Amino acid sequence: GESVGLHLPTLSVQEGDNSIINCAYSNSASDYFIWYKQESGKGPQFIIDIRSNMDKRQGQRVTVLLNKTVKHLSLQIAATQPGDSAVYFCAENTGRRALTFGSGTRLQVQP
Amino acid sequence: GAVVSQHPSWVICKSGTSVKIECRSLDFQATTMFWYRQFPKQSLMLMATSNEGSKATYEQGVEKDKFLINHASLTLSTLTVTSAHPEDSSFYICSAFASGTSGGQYFGAGTRLSVL
């Protein structure tokens, strides 16, 4: 079936560096994508979203890029901090408002 | 921002007993709520869509008689795991769709269920 997947299960970066987390999706009809951050034992926390009529959206220290041609989504975190360490999920809105989540990438920030 | 409260955060129960998990939207009304299950080191998998005033819609492979969902008001959905077994041990997370937002969902903090 349709799915949203991730390229890298674990990403380790040095504090202060920029992080890039990637996600591939397969449902070409998807028109809304969201990145969530999940810390251990907690629910997902909304980071940033983007609609399919955009290819880039910026937030505070975060940028989401969408490439519909290759069905690829990325999350860029600038000046990564120890508090950014968590598992990051991309999610796709399927149109019926339920979300399909990718497999997740663990971000480890080394001090 | 919108707040979703989930209770309890952690529950331990004996095999064969039932456990009820509550999901509340604190500052908005939610006609639709969603229940997800997450096993360790895995992603969130949608279990069911909870609709206020009507029956829940279950995903394929999810037993509706085992996972009872009640959405009796615009701010509360409950998930009852009936006759729980150790394989039901998981992290259960609810979310609510807030009308008027861009389409994102707001998640509860999750409930860790451990069945002995």
pLDDT, residue A2, reads 42
pLDDT higher than 80, residue A97? no
Q: Is the pLDDT of residue B100 over 80?
A: no
**Beta carbons of A93 and B103 less than 8 Å apart:** yes
**Dihedrals φ, ψ of A105, to 5°?**
-125, 130
Render pLDDT for A4-14 as a digit per residue (tens, 0 to 9): 554 458 999 99
Q: CA of B102, closest CA in chain A: separation in Å?
A: 9
Q: Which residues of B touch A25 (CB under 8 A)?
A: none
Are the CB atoms for B18 and B84 separated by under 8 Å?
A: yes
Chain B residues whose beta carbon lies within 8 Å of the beta carbon of residue A88 = none
pLDDT tens digits along B38-97 = 998 889 999 999 988 889 999 999 999 999 999 989 899 999 999 999 999 999 999 998
pLDDT at B2 > cutoff 90 = no
Contact A34 B112 (CB under 8 A): no
| Range name among A32-41, A46-55, A94-103, B39-48 with the lowest pLDDT average | A94-103
**Which residues are within 8 A (CB) of B76 and not within 5 positions of it... i.e. 6 or more apart?**
B22, B23, B24, B25
